[in-house]
Amino acid sequence: MVSTATNIAQKKFDNCIMNASGVWCSDENELTELDRSEASSFVTKSGTLQPRKGNPQPRYFPTSLGSINSMGLPNQGLDYYLEVVNRLQQRKPHKNYFVSCTGFNVQEDISLLKKVAVSGFTGVVELNLSCPNVPGKPQTGYDFETVDNILKTVFKSYKGPLGVKLPPYFDIVHFNQMAQILNKYPLAYVNSVNSIGNGLYIDDTQEQVVIKPKNGFGGIGGDYIKPTALANVHAFYQRLNPDIQIIGTGGIKNGRDIFEHILCGASMVQVGTALMKEGPDIFARLTRELKAIMRDKGYEKIADFKGKLQYIE
């Protein structure tokens, strides 16, 4: 009997598949649908200190190979997500949940994590350092000094399990530099990758962009980004100390994609674009497909192949 169970932050999850922050997780209804699905957990939309409307629409566009989005962090505010998740947690004390949050500077990050601590939340916090879609705001994850400063400041006060959502990196030296910073802190995990920022998708019949914000520039997800996602998962798996686990996000739409992310070192995978297209039923299909692959290959649990990607000697 194969098992797709996993552990993150010393917490048990009966399945290694869940949603990516931002997708199907913006309000209580969507979170409840995820909670009832085959996903082992959920992560909320990144909560900010105050609720946000986000960018003008159209701000999301699905394509045959993935998606482009410039949502601009529309969310109900962190307090809302903490209230909903703490209530769901009471109903299901055995389940473990993730709450995502993001501040626009280190002081805001500290305030957000204070809110988490005061709320009595006992799950895992994901600090989003990689939203590419707030006009005028750079992706924190590309400012190495700021990431170092945020983590140094955060870990002085926040004592609960915390992971960070990173943007994709494209340079080996950047993998080295970021890993050196991350290894200094007691992170539960690193989640790679967020969308590839500031791509451009064009409707050639209309000779026009497809989303309104930022003249059509937006985060790219789906098939386009799987090779980049796998590279970031494996690069950090190779470089981070083993207590820091990897969550793999990017380009997952079938069991094979999940198998590849785990082979690269992921302990959990998150699904974005494909979940947006297929809805929460996708988790039953993905779980079936992953189990079939494991059965064919004679693997009983994900530890049997996690990180075991082979190189060509």
Ligand X SMILES: O=C1NC(=O)NC(C(=O)O)N1
- Interacting residue ranges for ligand X, rule: CB under 6 A: 22, 69-73, 128, 130-131, 133, 194-195, 219
Nearer to ligand X, 194 or 287 (CB): 194
195 labeled part of a ligand binding site? yes
Name the residue number minimizing CB distance to ligand X.
Answer: 219
Shortest gap between Cβ of 192 and ligand X (angstroms)? 13
C-alpha–C-alpha distance, residues 232 and 236, integer Å = 6
> Which of 55, 54, 65, 61 lies closest to 206 in space, CA to CA?
61
The answer to whether 69 is a known ligand-binding residue is yes
Beta carbon of residue 128, minimum distance to ligand X (angstroms, whole number): 5
For 58, the token pair is 């159209």
Helices (H), 9-67: 28-35
Residue 215 annotated as binding site:
no
CB of 123 or CB of 197, closer to ligand X: 197
Pairing mode, strands 189-192 and 245-249: parallel
What is the smallest separation between the CB atom of 139 and ligand X, expressed in angstroms? 9
For residue 194, say whether it is annotated as part of any ligand binding site.
Answer: yes
Q: Has 16 been annotated as catalytic?
A: no
The burial class, CB within 10 Å (0-12 / 13-18 / 19+), for 206 is: exposed
Question: If phi over 0 gives left and psi between -120 and 50 gives alpha, with beta otherwise, what is residue 198?
Answer: left
Residue of 25, 101, 131, 264 with catalytic role: 131
Question: Measuring CA to CA, how many Å separate 294 from each of 47, 200, 233, 259, 274?
Answer: 36, 37, 20, 8, 21
Nearer to ligand X, 69 or 192 (CB): 69
How far apart are CB 82 and ligand X at their closest, in Å? 19
Closest CA to 33 of 312, 243, 282, 230: 282
Considering the complex, state which of residue 70 and residue 228 has its C-beta at the smaller distance from ligand X: 70
Contact 130, 141 (CB under 8 A): yes
233 is in an annotated binding site: no
Nearer to ligand X, 27 or 289 (CB): 27
Q: How far is the CB of 54 from ligand X (least distance, A)?
A: 6
- What does the block give as tokens for 284? 């039953």
- Residue numbers belonging to the annotated binding site for FMN: 21, 45-46, 128, 165, 193, 222, 250-251, 272-273
- Residue numbers belonging to the annotated binding site: 21, 45-46, 69-73, 128, 165, 193-195, 222, 250-251, 272-273
- Residue numbers belonging to the annotated binding site for substrate: 45, 69-73, 128, 194-195
Could you list the active site residues? Answer: 131
